[in-house]
Amino acid sequence: MRSHDVVVVGAGLAGQRAALAAIEAKRDVAIVSKLHPLRSHSGAAQGGINAAVGKEDSVDTHIYDTVKGSDYLGDQDAIEFFCREAGPTVIEMEHFGTIFSRAPDGSLARRPFGGAAFPRTIYAADRTGLALLQGLYERLGTESFTMYEEWDLTSVIVREGRCQGIVAFDRRHGTFEEIGAKSVVLATGPCGRVYGRTTNSHTSTGDGIAAAYRAGAALKDMEFVQFHPTALLESSILITEGARGEGGLLKNGTGERFMSRYAPHVLELASRDVVSRAIITEVREGRGFPGGYVHLELMHLGKERIESRLQEICDFCRTFAGIDPVTQPIPVMPAQHYMMGGIGTNIRGETNVPGLLAAGEAACVSIHGANRLGGNSLLETLVFGKQAGIAAAEHAGRAAAPEVRPADAEAEAARVGAMTSRTDGEEPQHLRISMQAAMDGLVGVFRVPDELTQALSEVRALRTRYERVRVVDTSKSYNLNLTDALETGNMLELAEVIVAGAIARTESRGAHSRVDFPKRDDATWMKHTMASRGPDGPRLSYAPVAYTRWEPKERVY
Ligand SMILES: Cc1cc2nc3c(=O)[nH]c(=O)nc-3n(C[C@H](O)[C@H](O)[C@H](O)COP(=O)(O)OP(=O)(O)OC[C@H]3O[C@@H](n4cnc5c(N)ncnc54)[C@H](O)[C@@H]3O)c2cc1C
C-alpha cells in the first residue's frame, strides 16, 4: 500500500513550499498534483509580492495596511506574523533563484499597489508568479520525494477522528488509488471557476476545499469573493494592478478620471473592492462606454516603460483584444479574481480535523479578512505553506501509522462508475455553465437579497440535477469528461456555501457589499463565518476575530 508521512496535495507555490518544509524536517513526503507543478495557477500571477524592505517603509505599516484592507475582519495576530515573515521570505526566494526586477541602484525594484501606503510590491516584470514558481521548483528538485503527477485528489480519508490519507484518481491509468498519510496538507488553490467571468485558470475548481468540507473541515468566510477591477472585457484575462501601479489611469465614457469621486486621496490605487464598486457604479449610471465598460489608459507612460515593465500585458492586449496598449486604451471590467475564504486554519495551517492541514488560496487563516490587498497572496502561499509543512511534519512525528483500506478507493470508483454507466442524465458542462451564469449574474460585486435567494435556489436545483450527472466519454485514459464531472460537483458544493454565507451576512464589509445593508456593522458582524457540511446544506456558525493593536475605524482611501 502507498503510504507516506506527509502527503501534500497541490504543487503551486503553497504546496511546494509546504513539501520543502516537511522534507527539511526529515519526513517521507509525497506531492499529489493534477497538473505539472509549473502549470499551477501561481504561475499566472503577474504584479508582485509584498514585503516592507525599503528604508521609508516599515513592517508595522504593512500590518496596518493589511488590517485596514481586510476591513478589520483579518486576524491581527496572523497578520502580524505574516508581515514580519515577508522580508525573509522574499530574500529566501531570491536565494532559491528567483530573479526579481531591479531599481537603477541594484536594489529590489518595488511598485505601488492598491491599498498600500508605500511602494511595497516586489516583482519580476509582470511574470512574478512564474519567476517564484520556477525558483522554488528548482530548489525542490534538489530534494528527494515522491511525485504523483496528473493524479486528482477526490476525497480525504478521516477515520477515528483523524485524517489518515486521501483517495486520488490516476488520470493516465483511469484508476482510483488510496494513499495513506499521517498528515495531509491541502494546497489545491482557489475555486474561482464557480464564476464564468474570472481571471482564474480553468483548473481552479476548489477540489481540495470541497474534499475538506466533505471530510468534516469547517470552511471560513466563503462569502468574501474578490473581484479584480481590471480584467480584459471579453476574455476576463487579468490586467495586473501593476498597470495602475506604474501609473495607469481609469477613465469613463466621458473621459473623466472617475476615481477622484470614490477615493480622492489615492484614486486608482484604492483597494480592489473600492475600485470594482466604482467601475460597476459608473457603468450602471450610464457613464461607461457603449456595451458597458471603462478604459484603462497606459499610453502616457510611453512605449519603453510599458513594454519593459508590462510585457505580458502588452502580449495579452495584442493577442486577445487586438489592442496595442502603447497607443490605445484597454477596455476593462471587474471579474472574479480571488477567494478570501477557504478551509479554516490557524497560523500553523491546522484545521479542525487532526492531521489535516491547508495552505495557500485553498485555506483561510485569515489574513485577508473581507478584502485581500494585491501582492499579499503570493506572500501568503510561501509564509503559510512553510508553516503548514512544519506543522504537518511535527504531527507526522507523533501520529500512529495510517490505516487505509482498499474499500476507500473502491467507494470512489463505484461513485464514478455510476456516472459513466448512466445512459441518460445531465452532462456536467451544462450544469457548470448554468452555475457560472447564476454566480456571475446574481452573486457579484453588489449583492441584492432577492438575487442571492434566487442564486441559492438555482444552485440547489443544479445540485439535485448533479445527482444524475452523466459522463458520456468512457475512455480509461485521460478522460477529461470525467474530470469535468468531478470538478463540477466540487464547485456546486462550494457555490452553495458562498451564497448561503452571503445571504446570512446582513452588512457590507470589504468585498461583500449588500445593497440592503450598505454599512459595516461591527456590533453584530465582526466575526468569521464558519460553514460545516450538514445533511441539508451548509450549517453556519461564527468565530471571533483576533485583535492585537488596531481598533476598527471607518475605511477611507
Ligand atoms: C491571473 C492571476 C494573477 C495573480 N496575480 C497575483 C499577484 O501579482 N500577486 C499576488 O500576491 N497574488 C496574485 N494572484 C493570486 C495568487 O497567484 C494565488 O492566490 C496563489 O498563487 C495560489 O497559490 P496556491 O499554491 O494556493 O494554488 P495554485 O497555484 O492554484 O496551485 C494549486 C495546485 O493544486 C493542484 N490541485 C488542484 N486540485 C487538485 C486535485 N483535485 N488533485 C490534485 N491536485 C490538485 C494543482 O495541480 C496545483 O498544483 C493572482 C491570481 C491570478 C488568478
The domain spanning residue 316 has which CATH number? Answer: 3.90.700.10
Closest atom, ligand 1, to C-alpha of 211 = 41
Strand ranges of the sheet holding 342-344, from the earlier edge strand across to the other edge: 363-364, 342-344, 219-220, 527-534, 537-544
pLDDT score at 522: 97
The total number of structural domains that make up the chain? 2
Q: Is residue 237 part of a domain?
A: yes
Q: Where are the alpha helices (DSSP H) in 126-259?
A: 128-140, 207-214, 242-245
As separate numbers, helices (DSSP H) first and strands (DSSP E) second, the chain gives 15, 21
Q: Is residue 506 part of a domain?
A: yes
Mean pLDDT confidence for 532-545: 97
Instruction: State which of 312, 334, 356 marks the end of a domain.
Output: 334
Mean pLDDT confidence for 142-152: 98
- Quick check: 55 pLDDT over 90? no
Instruction: State which of 306, 334, 362 marks the end of a domain.
Output: 334
Residue from 531, 551, 548 nearest 540 by CA:
531
Q: Is residue 133 part of a domain?
A: no
Cα 61 to ligand 1 centroid, rounded to whole Å: 26
pLDDT score at 212: 98
Mean pLDDT confidence for 361-370: 98
User: Looking at the structure, do residues 322 and 437 belong to the same domain, yes or no?
Assistant: no
- Quick check: 279 pLDDT over 90? yes
Mean pLDDT of the chain: 97
Using one digit for the tens of pLDDT, what is the confidence trace for 92-136? 999 999 999 999 999 999 999 999 999 999 999 999 999 999 999
Say if residues 219 and 497 touch (Cβ distance below 8 Å): yes
User: Looking at the structure, do residues 503 and 416 belong to the same domain, yes or no?
Assistant: yes
In a mutational test of the pocket of ligand 1, which residue from 361, 380, 486 has the highest number of ligand atoms less than 8 Å from its CB? 361
In a mutational test of the pocket of ligand 1, which residue from 188, 313, 320, 336 has the highest number of ligand atoms less than 8 Å from its CB? 188
Mean pLDDT confidence for 180-198: 98
pLDDT score at 551: 92
For position 440, which CATH number holds? Answer: 1.20.58.100
pTM score of the predicted model: 0.98
Indicate which residue's Cα is closest to atom 2 of ligand 1. Answer: 45
Query: Which residues neighbour 91 within 8 Å (Cβ) at sequence distance 6 or greater?
Result: none
Q: Is residue 556 part of a domain?
A: no
Residue 513: cis peptide before it, omega within 30 degrees of 0: no
User: Looking at the structure, do residues 416 and 540 belong to the same domain, yes or no?
Assistant: yes
> Strand, helix or coil at 303?
helix
Radius of gyration of the chain (CA): 22
Closest atom, ligand 1, to C-alpha of 188 = 34
In a mutational test of the pocket of ligand 1, which residue from 13, 31, 39, 42 has the highest number of ligand atoms less than 8 Å from its CB? 42
- Quick check: 556 pLDDT over 90? no
Q: Is residue 511 part of a domain?
A: yes
Report which secondary-structure segment, H or E, holds 82: helix 76-96
Using one digit for the tens of pLDDT, what is the confidence trace for 312-349? 999 999 999 999 999 999 999 999 999 999 999 999 99
pLDDT tier, 298 (very low <50, low <70, confident <90, very high otherwise) = very high
Indicate which residue's Cα is closest to atom 8 of ligand 1. Answer: 47
User: Looking at the structure, do residues 531 and 442 belong to the same domain, yes or no?
Assistant: yes
User: Looking at the structure, do residues 304 and 432 belong to the same domain, yes or no?
Assistant: no
Q: Is residue 63 part of a domain?
A: no
Residues lining ligand 1, judged by CB closer than 6 Å? 9-15, 32-35, 37, 40-42, 44-49, 128-129, 152-153, 187-189, 199-200, 204, 207-208, 238, 338, 360-362, 374-378, 381
- Quick check: 404 pLDDT over 90? no
Give the DSSP per-residue string, 415-473: HHHHHHH-SSSB-HHHHHHHHHHHHHHHSSSEE-HHHHHHHHHHHHHHHHHHTTB----
Closest atom, ligand 1, to C-alpha of 15 = 25
Find the domain containing 252 and state its range. 230-334
Give the torsion sign (CA, 281, 285, 291, 294): negative
Q: Is residue 213 part of a domain?
A: no
Q: Is residue 115 part of a domain?
A: no
User: Looking at the structure, do residues 412 and 323 belong to the same domain, yes or no?
Assistant: no
Instruction: State which of 277, 306, 334 marks the end of a domain.
Output: 334
In angstroms, the CA 23 to CA 38 distance is 20
